[in-house]
Amino acid sequence: MTKTILIAGTASHVGKSTVAAGLCRLLADRGVDVAPYKGQNMSNNARVVVRPDTDGKQGDETDTATDDRWGEIGVSQFVQARAARMTPTTDCNPVLLKPRGDGESQLVLQGEAHDHVPAGTYYEEYWDQAREAAEKSYRRLAADNDVIVAEGAGSIGEINLHDRDLANVETAEFADADILLLVDIERGGAFASLYGTIELVPDALRERIVGAVITKFRGDPSLLEPGIEEIESRTGVPILGVLPYDDPGLPEEDSVGLPGSEERGVVGDEDGVPDDRRLRIAVPRLPRISNATDLEALADEPGVSVVYVPVDGDGTADPLEGVDADAVVIPGTKNTVDDLLALHDAGFADALATFDGPVVGICGGYQMLGERITNAALEGTGTDDTVDGLGLLPVETRFEGDKRLEQTSVPVDGPASPLLSGADGPASGYEIHAGRTQALEDVHRPLGDSSAARGQVLGTYLHGLFDNESVRTAFLEHVAATAGVDWPPGAGTDTSPSAGSDTTGPTPYDRAARLVSEHVNLAALGEPFDE
């Protein structure tokens, strides 16, 4: 029978995704058939994957149609599937809620986008359908694998949700799962949180808890021993390990790891490169930002800082003032129209009109760069039918009811844009968007039909653009030349690979596996973890 371990938490952001990825890689390296699973996820960081057919097999790889073949899942399950050395499918995350603001989320069932629904409507009208989808996906994965590493969501101790907690309670029951409970000590109150959670979970689930792990600890673990002994005595749940504070470099599951929307924050500035050798990429911190992982490959480069700029001004001041930006990248968004209106209100249209450096828009950012968006009321909240864009590209986007989902590879025509003049292709990534964009005048197409470029401005629907080394290097070299910065950093500068590098030394998956194997008593989890 398939063994299932549910990685649950006392709260959100306690390290569940990292531990799940580490266990997937650990088992895969031992030759175990293992698959990740999360019954219900809430995230705007999604990836496009194949959808299993009714027999649980992958779709026809030769089929060029995109609507039926592809679906979307949360980024963490995509990453965990890669860690497990398996092809990710929508079964890995059968229910995905993508927040769009104003208390609504888009409901994605087995990869297919459905309505935008408030939380109450979801539980009243879609709950049974969602649970059925989650259990069917689990059964298909279990039929083909020896172990399922399931990730819970938020806190397993939310007593107001126990009768409808799909990712924790329901998964534990229909998967007959053992539970490994994680608590983040960096937040403070770890022992109280752990004790309270164990006391509040339903009795049937409490019996499934095989152990707990304390995460994100800085210091000497021996200092925790009195607390560990007491919590074990009070609860009967063994503490199986203490994970040191470490970031293996896995992509963030959601925007929680980003600077807040009302504060300026910098990512990638702790690599030892001096300021005079550093490039600064400004990124508007959109209120409804999605797929922000597109920026991680830039921040991982030595000598590159990604500066998140608040989108909360009243338009009276230049939002880029004081940023000293060498380039601007506008990322994706779950709600292009409302985030575009927010950019207008904050004065970004005027700021970008006078900005003389490179500007890139990805997905929703590409749509914003155009002259206008039509049929805007389909996506925006209380908007007119037509909304003015930022006016940096002669293109127009019209929203329609369907969504384009596709893993894709596009040709790279470097000479078509100075931003990519040194790049060659193809470049691989994925598209996940509503709306169709067409040119109003002649434009260059450096990344195929789903792109447009003019002068220092480039727009594209290709998520994962900067994950392509040739594209990333060409872009940064152009930014450096435009800014007069001597980049990349030279000899004598600390340019050791960041934790997120997947090309030099251990991969993030391997680092996560090592973190778990070195600091958790896996023998307590039984076969096949105890090898």
Active site residues: 363, 463
Gap between the Cα atoms of 97 and 433, Å rounded: 15
> What is the DSSP code (8-state) at residue 430?
E
393: helix, strand or coil: coil
Burial class (CB in 10 A: 0-12, 13-18, 19+), 370: buried
Residue 145 contacts residue 34 (beta carbons within 8 Å): yes
| Closest by CA position to 184, among listed 24, 6, 16 | 16
Helix, strand, coil % in the chain, rounded to nearest 5: 35, 30, 40
| Closest by CA position to 307, among listed 286, 325, 331 | 325
Q: Which two tokens stand for residue 15?
A: 């390290």
* Residue matched to tokens 């229910």: 95
Burial class (CB in 10 A: 0-12, 13-18, 19+), 398: middle
For the packed helices 75-83 and 508-519, what is the interaxial angle rounded to 10 degrees? 80
For the packed helices 225-235 and 190-200, what is the interaxial angle rounded to 10 degrees? 10
